[in-house]
Amino acid sequence: KDTSFQNLMNVLFKNEHSAEEKLTILRKQFGIKVTEAIEEEVEEMSHICMYYEQEGKKAGLTEGMLIGEKRGMLIGERRGKILTQTANVERLMKKQLSMQEAFELLGIEKGMQEKVIQQFNHSNTTENKSNI
């Protein structure tokens, strides 16, 4: 009986079926005599279910956009730091310092050094391709 009750609740409260389909299921699967009052209630429940489903989607979309915006800002900030440090290292290298001396002079930690080297190599590869 628990399963039957759960199935009935699923039919009524999930938004998988139209109100008309729900009424047909109530009649055929559950043997319920559908009165005009039941029809009105099922119709109203269907509208309520749709409303809350739409509200849930809006809330989820808004939350997802905020999370995406924050992630984008963090990625942009990290990317900006790498580009800035790479430009600083390149300026010092033009003054005849080695890359390692530039790192030490600027106080760039090991993790950032690796990212600067990757960016430096990427920039030089892209620049060399455009000169061909």
Q: What is the pLDDT of residues 67-89, one digit of tens each?
A: 999 999 999 999 999 999 999 99
pLDDT of residue 4: 86
Is-contact 86 78, C-beta < 8 A? no
DSSP 1: -
Span of 9-18, 29-38, 54-63, 108-117 with lowest mean pLDDT: 9-18
Tokens 């808004």 belong to 62
How many helices and strands (H and E) does the chain possess?
Answer: 5, 0
- The 10s digit of each residue's pLDDT in 99-113 is 999 999 999 999 999
- The 10s digit of each residue's pLDDT in 36-51 is 999 999 999 888 888 9
pLDDT of residue 12: 87
Annotated domain spans of the chain: 35-131
pLDDT of residue 16: 87
If you average pLDDT over residues 20-37, what whole number do you get?
A: 93
Q: Is the pLDDT of residue 130 over 90?
A: no
> DSSP string spanning 55-90?
HHHHHHHHHHHHHHHHHHHHHHHHHHHHHHHHHHHH
- CA 88/CA 6 separation, integer angstroms: 66
